[in-house]
């Protein structure tokens, strides 16, 4: 192994393993210093490849740095630092440790120069993120984590099949731009898309994330979907199919968020919605669109973490997470409310916030390509984002009818981290060049023209008007919405029960037949012995032959 540089991802993974052994103030110091160190090492690295390891016949490249990967790792490190500060006093060591390994895995995926190391860290992320969910330590989170890991392991298998096929076909493990011309690249694309929350398996995200602890959800929101966006950016830019998938995700997220009652689930659906914008941008594939996607991923991680920190503070202080139970919290949690509103304005891409300067680049790309229908759909979507996340979230939590709850603002460390991210959201919104200068391509775009600012304000403010006019229709109910997970949470167990019943009946018939055989022949003693063994062995053979039959039929 030759490695002249300090790998920022591995640094986080190893320090994650150390966290359980450090306690008290030292732990706080440790979890704050580590992300800073990894950021430092990242920005002192030259562009190019480094850290190669010989594995079987392949040379794995752990560090492949360019402006795109640097952008993603920068925002990952900032997020780990801030969310670490957010929960440094309250979170369990298990959760922090899992979260750091998870974040380190995400950074390592982004830095990976080849498909094998990418896959290894990809799976490490899946495992560590499941541990983050389980750290909430209740039955609901346990079950949700089980469903989450099942889906991700399925995605991992699909990705592995794709990678194996791809390596066999091309004789190269390098991770570069791929063409959708063989089944293996299709499988790789499916594996990537599954982590992005693309259809049909969209439900895992909104199912699992809100079951994590108040701080675990914030960690989860930042990494899995955004590494998926990163690998799509790198592997499949300009794939037209992604435009349609992205548009589906955008509208799916809006509609389901509008129906939802759980505040963190509303925000989880809006992750899918925002990632939809990015996937759509990758599909458009021009330099403007790819820049927009990268910028949007950057700003999105920050304002989404801000929103979830504000929702997390509410959960932490009140123990409640449903719109129907909350309301009127602006009276006693003003700072949390302000930070939540800044995040809500940023996600709606209000002028002077970070979302405005990043999302407009994707919309601009659709204008440059002169595709009216995509542009119109993106405009509808922008209006819809303001509806479901921009107003709905703050309105039902901090305003609406008074719930009578009077919690105070959360502890100081949580306040500082929220304010820090709120300031970044506005700072990037006012000085877009901070972000534009570190994007992968040169930016030739001016977001703040008078026309653009005014039209955006018109679009958003009149969407707000629509919200308040339709408020009677938006009344929150104590409900959930069925999603694709219904198939594996409800239908599959029922089907499995029916199938098992059939099999047990069939086995009883076989037994009866054997017993009648036994009485007709008179080998009493020997057969009795064989039957007693035969019951369990026979059942296994029986299931196995059915499996084989299925295999042959398929």
Binding footprint of other proteins on the chain (CB under 8 A): 254-255, 258-259, 261, 328, 330-331, 367, 372, 375-376, 379-380, 382-384, 387, 399, 402, 449-451, 454-463, 465-467, 469-470, 473-474, 477-483, 489-490
Q: Which is nearer to other proteins, 380 or 426 (CB)?
A: 380
- Pick the closer one to other proteins by CB: 259 or 531: 259
Residue 521 burial class via C-beta count within 10 angstroms: exposed 0-12, middle 13-18, buried 19 and up: exposed
The nearest distance, CB 329 to other proteins, in angstroms, is 10
Q: What is the Rg, in whole angstroms, of the alpha carbon atoms belonging to the chain?
A: 26
Measured distance CA(394)–CA(388) in Å, rounded:
10
Calculate the alpha carbon distances from 161 to 62, 149, 183, 186, 315 in Å. Answer: 21, 18, 10, 10, 41
Select 226 or 321, whichever has its Cβ closest to other proteins.
321
Q: Nearest-5° angle of CA 190, CA 196, CA 198?
A: 65
When the beta carbons of 97 and 382 are compared against other proteins, the nearer one is 382
SS3 of residue 12 by DSSP = helix
* Tokens of residue 278, six digits: 């990015």
- State how far the Cα of 329 lies from the Cα of 404, in Å rounded to an integer: 9
Q: For residue 518, what is the enclosing H or E element?
A: helix 492-520
- Which is nearer to other proteins, 291 or 456 (by Cβ)? 456
**Minimal distance, residue 463 CB to other proteins, in Å:** 4
Nearer to other proteins, 477 or 536 (CB): 477
> Nearest distance from residue 390's CB to other proteins, in Å?
11
CA 135/CA 19 separation, integer angstroms: 14
Whole-angstrom distance, CA of residue 185 vs CA of residue 172: 13
- Listed in sequence order, the residues at least 6 apart from 247 whose beta carbon sits closer than 8 Å to its beta carbon are 276, 280, 374, 377, 381
Query: What's the closest the beta carbon of residue 258 comes to other proteins, in angstroms?
Result: 4
Of 400, 291, 361, the closest CA to residue 67 belongs to: 291
Query: Least distance from C-beta 485 to other proteins, angstroms?
Result: 9
**Contact between 290 and 441 (Cβ < 8 Å):** yes
CB of 215 to other proteins, least distance (A): 24
Name the minimum Å distance from CB 280 to other proteins.
Answer: 17
Please give the backbone phi and psi of residue 394, each rounded to the nearest 5 degrees, phi first.
Answer: -65, -35
Task: Please identify, using beta-carbon distances, which residue of 90 and 481 lies nearer to other proteins.
Answer: 481
Question: In angstroms, rounded to a whole number, what is the distance separating the alpha carbons of residues 454 and 461?
Answer: 10
Query: Which residue is listed with tokens 């775009």?
Result: 445
- Give 358 or 382: the residue with its C-beta nearer to other proteins: 382
Closer to other proteins by Cβ: residue 331 or 545: 331
Start-to-end CA span in the chain (Å) = 45
| Least gap, CB of 211 to other proteins (angstroms) | 12
Name the minimum Å distance from CB 328 to other proteins.
7
CB atoms under 10 Å from CB of 527, counted, come to: 17
Minimum distance from residue 139 beta carbon to other proteins (Å): 10
CB of 55 to other proteins, least distance (A): 43
For 17-48, b/e burial (b = at least 16 CB within 10 A) is eebeebeeeebbebbbebbeebbebbeebeee
105 versus 292: smaller Cβ distance to other proteins:
292
CA 427 to CA 342: how far, in whole Å? 12
- 168-199 in b/e form (b: 16+ CB < 10 A) is eeeeebebeebeeeeebbebbbbbbbbbbbbe
Tell me the closest approach of the beta carbon of residue 547 to other proteins, in angstroms.
29
- In the numeric block, which tokens belong to residue 444? 């030739």
Considering the complex, state which of residue 63 and residue 387 has its C-beta at the smaller distance from other proteins: 387
Closest CB to other proteins among residues 240, 402: 402
């Amino acid at each position: 192994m030759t490695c002249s540089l300090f790998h920022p991802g591995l640094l986080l993974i190893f320090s994650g393993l150390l966290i359980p052994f450090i306690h008290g103030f030292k732990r706080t110091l440790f979890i704050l210093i580590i992300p800073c160190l990894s950021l430092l090492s990242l920005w002192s690295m030259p562009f190019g490849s480094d850290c190669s390891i010989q594995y079987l016949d392949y040379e794995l490249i752990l560090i492949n740095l360019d402006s795109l990967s640097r952008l993603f790792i920068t925002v990952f490190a900032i997020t780990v630092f801030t969310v670490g500060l957010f929960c440094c006093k309250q979170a369990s060591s298990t959760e922090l440790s899992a979260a750091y390994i998870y974040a380190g895995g995400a950074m390592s995926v982004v830095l990976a120069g080849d498909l094998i190391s990418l896959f290894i860290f990809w799976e490490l992320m899946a495992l560590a993120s499941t541990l983050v969910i389980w750290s909430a330590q209740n039955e609901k989170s346990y079950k949700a984590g089980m469903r989450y890991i099942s889906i991700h392991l399925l995605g991992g298998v699909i990705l592995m099949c794709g990678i194996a096929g791809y390596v066999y076909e091309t004789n190269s493990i390098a991770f570069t731009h791929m063409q959708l011309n063989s089944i293996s690249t299709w499988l790789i694309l499916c594996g990537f898309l599954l982590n992005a929350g693309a259809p049909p398996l969209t439900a895992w995200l909104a199912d699992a994330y809100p079951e994590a602890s108040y701080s675990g959800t914030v960690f989860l929101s930042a990494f899995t979907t955004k590494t998926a966006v990163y690998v799509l950016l790198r592997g499949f830019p300009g794939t037209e199919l992604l435009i349609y998938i992205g548009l589906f995700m955008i509208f799916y997220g809006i509609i389901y968020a509008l129906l939802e009652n759980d505040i963190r689930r509303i925000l989880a659906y809006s992750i899918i919605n925002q990632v939809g914008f990015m996937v759509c941008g990758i599909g458009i594939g021009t330099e403007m669109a790819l820049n927009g996607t990268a910028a949007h991923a950057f700003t999105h991680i920050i304002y989404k973490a801000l929103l979830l920190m504000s929702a997390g503070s509410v959960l932490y202080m009140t123990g409640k997470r449903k719109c129907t139970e909350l309301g009127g919290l602006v009276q006693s949690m003003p700072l949390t409310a302000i930070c939540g509103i800044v995040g809500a304005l940023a996600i709606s891409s209000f002028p002077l916030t970070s979302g405005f300067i990043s999302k407009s680049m994707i919309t601009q790309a659709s204008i440059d390509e002169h595709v009216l229908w995509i542009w119109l759909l993106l405009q509808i979507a922008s209006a819809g984002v303001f509806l479901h996340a921009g107003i709905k979230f703050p309105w039902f939590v901090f305003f609406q009818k008074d719930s009578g709850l009077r919690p105070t603002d959360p502890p100081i460390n949580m306040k500082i981290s929220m304010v820090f991210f709120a300031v970044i959201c506005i700072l990037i919104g006012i000085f877009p060049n901070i972000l534009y200068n570190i994007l992968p391509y040169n930016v030739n775009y001016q977001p703040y023209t008078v026309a653009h600012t005014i039209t955006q304000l018109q679009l958003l403010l009149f969407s707000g008007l629509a919200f308040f006019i339709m408020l009677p229709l938006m009344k929150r109910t104590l409900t959930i919405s069925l999603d694709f997970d219904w198939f594996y949470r409800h239908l599959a167990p029922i089907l499995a029960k029916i199938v098992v019943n059939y099999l047990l009946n069939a086995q009883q018939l076989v037994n009866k037949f054997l017993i009648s055989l036994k009485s007709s022949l008179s080998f009493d003693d020997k057969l009795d012995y064989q039957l007693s063994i035969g019951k369990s062995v026979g059942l296994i053979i029986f299931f196995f032959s059915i499996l084989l039959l299925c295999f042959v039929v398929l």
